[in-house]
Structures are given as structure tokens and as C-alpha cells.
Amino acid sequence: MCDVLVALAPATPNGTTLFAKNSDRPPHEVQLLEWSPARTDSGSLRATHIEVAAHGVPTLSCVLSRPAWGWGAEHGVNEAGVAVGNTTVYTTLDPRSAPVGLTGMDLVRLALERATTASTAVDVIVQLIQRYGQGGSGHDPALVPNGRPYWNAFLVADPQSAFVLDTSGTEYATEVVLDVRAISNRTTIPAFDAAHRHPRQPVDRLVDPRWQASQRALAQRPVTPASLQTHLRSHDSCGDPGWSVCMHADDVEATTASMIAELRPDGASTLWAVQASPCEHEYLEFAFADAASALAHSAD
């Protein structure tokens, strides 16, 4: 479970893009906030479950929030000011029948490493899905021995633009964000949702209260890093007990990482991140330019 939000100028006070995500995962899973330096891949690259072709060109440096057991990232920001986050979605196509492929988290990381704009990041994700497919469990095999594969929705942003990408297997739809937008654990592009959402998915109880709360938060202008922190810490969006934006569904799901990013046209992104429940811990604030040293110090 996850909630992702974006606000473009002029919804923000400084003409910047604000991106935010709460990552909801198994409560005892460790999620790392780490610096991934630029590198040059050759041959093939090992993602969580499969190998993918490498391009032989330098990747971009990134700040990644990554479950410790896997290769992919829940969310992150790269040196070009591109931010990407994913959410679990279920459709009429059963993901348990899909061959092992890329996880949604793999796709987040690969897009961050390879894309200098939000539009390019969408293209990267779509091309990878078409070539390798989505498949394989998105959960630690030590915690979920039988696996739990799922499809993904993505929110992708840069300092000037943002896009929603809904998927079901290799099928997809995209939507250009014009002002503000939120996604949660359901397909949200109307035509794609009507065609693909599973009719028995309990979105009315477990998803829509959170998604609607995010939309209300984005409607309060201006959208600021402080207002997004308040929203990501909130518990007033429950359908079932514990299934709030800051999630505390006992022994099932909890918010284990949270990030807000201010993506600036001059490339000087600022990040706020916490690797735990945001209602119980303070966000670490740092400039992307200082990320390598800031994250090394925070890990000490």
C-alpha cells in the first residue's frame, strides 16, 4: 500500500514541483535511504529477480529508498530532478500467473537511473514492461515465503511536468498532470480503471479514503513541504482501522518510509525523508547536492 502526490506550479509558492510519497510495507521490513552514485553498466544488470540489458552508458546518480532485501526502490530522486514512486494495483488480470520479470520497485529504480525528464522516465518504464514484463514477488521471501506479485501504478515528476502511469501486465495508460494529482492502490486513469480494475477489490474501504484525503490536501493552496508533511503524518483517512495515509494496519502494513522532494528548475532539489512512521519521527532535510555526505552521516 502507498500514497503518492504531486503539485506543479502554480499550486506551489515558489514555482517548483513538489513530489511526496508514503511507502507502506510489511511492518518489520527494513527500508534503506541510500545514495546511488552514477556508474557505467556493461553487459547485463541484475535486478531483483532477473537480469536486464545494460546500455554501456553512464547512469544518473540517485537518492533511493529501497527495501533492504531487493534491488529496486520504492521512491527516489535523481540528479536531473526526476522523482518516481509506485503503488500496488490489482486488476482483472491475475499477477500470480505472470512469468518472473521486473518488480515495480525495479522499474522505479531503472527509470531514475536512466531518465533526465519525467516524460523519458515514463518511456523507460513502458519499454521495460514491454520487453521484460512485470512479475515476481514484491516482498521479502523471508517475510512472505509464498510471494506476492502485483501490478503497479506510477507517479513521475520533474521540475516542469508530471505523469500518471497505470498498468495491468503489459497493458498501460498514461495521463499528463496539469496541476495537482494523487494516486493510491487502485488504477485512477478513468478509462483504464473502468476497463481493468478488479470488481471485488475493496477500494471503498482500504484505498479511496486515503486517495480522497490526498486530493483534499492538494486542494489546500499553496501546497508546501510543511503541508505535505502534515498530510503524510495524518490518520484521518481511515476506512478500516489503521488503513490511513500514515498506515498502522497491525501485522499487515505500516508506513516504513516517507519522502518529499522539491524539484527546482535550476536542478537544486531539496529532499525530506524518514525511514519509519512519519507520525513518530522527524524528517531529515538535505539538498540533493549534499546527499552523499548527508546520508553517510545519518547512517553513522
Contact by Cβ (8 Å): 263, 17: yes
Catalytic residues: 2
Following DSSP, what letter does each residue of 154-207 receive, concatenated? Answer: EEEE-SS-EEEEEEETTEEEEEE-SSEEEEBSB--SHHHHHHHB-TT--HHHHT
Q: Whole-angstrom Cα distance, residue 34 to residue 151? A: 25
Which of 81, 1, 48 has the alpha carbon at shortest distance from 271?
81
Residue keyed to cell 514491454: 130
In sequence order, which residues have a C-beta less than 8 Å from that of residue 181 and are 6 or more positions away?
A: 5, 6, 155, 162, 164, 175, 218
Amino acid at position 31, single letter: Q
Q: Cα separations (Å) of 258 from 4, 130, 272, 282?
A: 10, 30, 8, 10
Residues 60 and 110: their CA atoms lie apart, in Å, by 10
Take residue 118 and report the three cell numbers written for it.
519525467
For residues 133 and 125, what is the distance between their CA atoms, to the nearest angstrom? 10
Q: Measured between alpha carbons, how far is 262 from 273 in angstroms, rounded to an integer?
A: 12
Residue type, position 77, single letter? V
Nearest Cα residue to 37 out of 58, 65, 52? 58
Please give the Cα distance from 218 to 231 (Å, whole number).
9
